Amino acid sequence: MPLITLRIYLALLAVCGVRLARASINPVEIHEQHFYDSVTREPFFIKGVDYQPGGSSGVSGQRDPLSDAKICARDIFLFQKLGINTIRVYSITPDLNHDECMTMMAAAGIYLILDVNSPMENQHLNRYEPWTTYNEDYLEHVFRVVEQFGHYNNTLGFFAGNEIINDGQSARRTPPYIRAVVGDIKQYIKANSPRTIPVGYSAADDLRYRIPLSRYLECHDADHPDSSIDFYGVNSYQWCGQQTFQTSGYDQLVDAYKEYTKPVFFSEFGCNIHRPRSFEEVEALYSEQMINTFSGGLVYEFTEEPNEYGLVKMNDDGSARVLQDFVNLQGRFSAIESKEFKMIRKNAMSLMATAPLPTCKDSYENLQIDATVPNDVLTSGLKNGVRQERGKYLNIKDSDITSEFEVYDENGKPFSSPRRFAIVNKIEGTAEPSGKQNDQPEKTETSPDGSSKPNGDENEDVKKSNAVSLTSPKFASAIGWAFARF
């Protein structure tokens, strides 16, 4: 739809009383080495958890972590109790609708970092034979995830991969494919998304590959300029129990990334050798020692799974009980919201140095980067968009924000009712999920530099119940007003 026509169309809808999805939660963008609020310009530091209830088996064609609004209401209540602002989800199913959960998260002030891969067939790269899985089916899945979640303002970013390189064989075969997927996603966002959304990678806790891979994914390739990551996630479990900034090796981490030109954060942290975990590393992570290099982190993980990293135990009847780890982390997070931290946060942006993006080298330690990635895999979906329902915000009721499940404290005592999360952002949306898919998604209006609008997305799906007759006086008056303006 031409730009002027789209503006007239939106103006007519507004005059005729048709409500468009609008969010007051501000997108998070990147400036140099830090995230920041795109409207207030305040530095944004990730304070969150990794969230994948049920692990890899929790994702199927029928469910995923963000498809059940009742579960989301229960867990968002606990997110706020914990004091976080971000969750990471490792995999979702784009066939399912996520409008309710994403609306509730936006209203509660919770952002999402989403992995685009899943353990299901044709939805991830084979780390040892990536050429067998880097194909049209795989990219269609990736683009569908981006198409759906790119229309929520509280989508902070996408991970193009998680721990794909974790041994010598994967380090020899996969690095160029990771850059290719990053470039594919960024090109798709440029062509189809209403705003620029950062794309990054989450690295395994292996010193042989973590730092050289970060350099390789950071560098500028003149032939493929979009293949450089926007941020880098470090999975680190090296601070265990009662340690210090030096004995944990955090001082070496800061030294390794102090000149990195992209935001770096812990995409997983929280060693569980000693339980319950005391999370002493949280104080260091949000201190002056680290805050100019690291942009916060995500604790692994929210739900208790067989690997025993959980903060919350889920029961078969849908009830939840917080564990002592939850209480300990809650105390650490609440302690960093001090006047001192707020001052450090304000100073962080002014202390950032503008560093030139390094040019790619011919080789990187412990990596093999000379593999040729096929350049004929991309489908027409890259420019024209894939057939996928676009995410949008909904109107939410009081019953939506109240958990119907019991929630217990660490001593087994139920939290007092109502178990309701607080609305911190006013979200206005359509009446209900449409379930509609676009055969040919229309282009959305963006500013010339691709940045987000100050007051959020404007969704093209409208509330049909508010439709106005084309012959009504109200519509005729609207046409005259709109053409007078444009």
Residue 54, CA atoms < 13 Å, CB-side half-sphere: 15
Does residue 454 fall inside a structural domain? no
Give the helix ranges, DSSP H, for 37-122.
Answer: 69-82, 99-108
Residue range 346-385, pLDDT digits in tens: 666 565 556 788 999 999 999 999 999 998 787 666 777 8
Are the beta carbons of 120 and 59 closer than 8 angstroms?
yes
CB 21 within 8 A of CB 393: yes
Is residue 482 in some structural domain?
no
b/e per residue 106-116 (b: at least 16 CB within 10 A): bbbbbbbbbbb
Active site residue 268: yes
Q: Does this model's pTM top 0.95?
A: no
The CATH number linked to 197 is 3.20.20.80
pLDDT at residue 481 in the model: 33
Residue 476 lies in a domain: no
Residue listed under structure tokens 């609708």: 97
Cα radius of gyration (the chain) = 23
Q: What integer is the mean pLDDT of 389-404?
A: 93
Given the residues 29, 268, 281, 304, select the one marked as catalytic: 268
Of 317 and 464, which is predicted with more confidence? 317
In a domain, 208, yes or no: yes
50 inside domain: yes
Would you state the structure tokens that stand for residue 266, as one six-digit string? 């812990």
User: Would residue 468 count as lying in a domain?
Assistant: no
Task: Supply the DSSP symbol for 203.
Answer: E
Q: How many domains are contained in the chain? A: 1
Q: What one-character DSSP code corresponds to residue 54?
A: T
Q: Which residues pair with 34 in a beta bridge?
A: 31
Q: What is the pLDDT of residues 104-149, one digit of tens each?
A: 999 999 999 999 999 999 999 999 999 999 999 999 999 999 999 9
Range of the domain at 376: 39-408
Cβ count within 10 A of residue 433? 18
Q: Does a structural domain hold residue 132?
A: yes
Tell me, yes or no, whether 16 lies in a domain: no
- The pair of structure tokens assigned to 211 is 């730092």
Q: Please pick, among 100, 163, 281, 301, the residue that the annotation labels catalytic.
A: 163
The answer on pLDDT for 435 being more than 70 is no
